[in-house]
Amino acid sequence: EPQLFVDGNQGCTLSKYLPVFQKMEKYDLAFIEQPLPIWDIGGYQKLCAKLDTPILIDEGVYTPNDLITLIKYQAADAVNIKILKTGLTGGKKIAAIAESAGLPCHLGSMFETGIGTAASIHFAISTRSISNSSECFFPTLLAEDVIEGDIYSTMPESWTWGLPQDKG
């Protein structure tokens, strides 16, 4: 069953958007991703306290210390790990910290080619705290890739998502 989520990409303010997010809770969103600027730890703390919808941190977690700070202030409900942002080792450390704090992990993407997508998929498979890796499809949008064959660059026929199937 599809789930809805909102990604603010740091473009929201607490005072203006908290009432909006509260109204949106009736739609049972999967999460609200990075709505506030990364530096607004207090704002995230308030969002986590006032909303039932999980707050997913993305741009706010580059290092294990970033996540430790968010956990300390109860300013995150989940973390979106992006291997191009954290590296494999950093991603593993972040996932371990999140797991120890009871926070679910999602695997995000940053428009990787097939090589980056392969690394992300292998990371997700080898990391038990990753609960969602729905963004690993960007090579399907490329006209060509450095990987020979189409294992990471051809979208399965069942995954149309309204995206064009013709790369030409």
The pLDDT of 116-138, averaged and rounded, is 82
Whole-number pLDDT of residue 109: 85
Lowest model confidence (mean pLDDT) among 38-42, 58-62, 111-115, 137-141: 137-141
pLDDT at 131: 82
State the average pLDDT over residues 36-60.
97
Q: What integer is the mean pLDDT of 93-121?
A: 90
Mean pLDDT of 139-166: 61
How confident is the model at residue 14, as a pLDDT? 97
Q: Band of the pLDDT at 145, cuts 50, 70, 90?
A: confident
One-letter-per-residue 3-state SS of the chain: CCCCEEECCCCCCHHHHHHHHHHHHHHCCCEEECCCCCCCHHHHHHHHHHCCCCEEECCCCCCHHHHHHHHHCCCCCEEEECHHHHHHHHHHHHHHHHHHCCCCEEECCCCCCHHHHHHHHHHHHCCCCEEECCCCCHHHHCCCCCCCCCCCCCCCCCCCCCCCCCCC
Question: How do residues 58-101 score in pLDDT, each as one tens digit?
Answer: 999 999 999 999 999 999 999 999 999 999 999 999 999 999 99
pLDDT at 12: 96
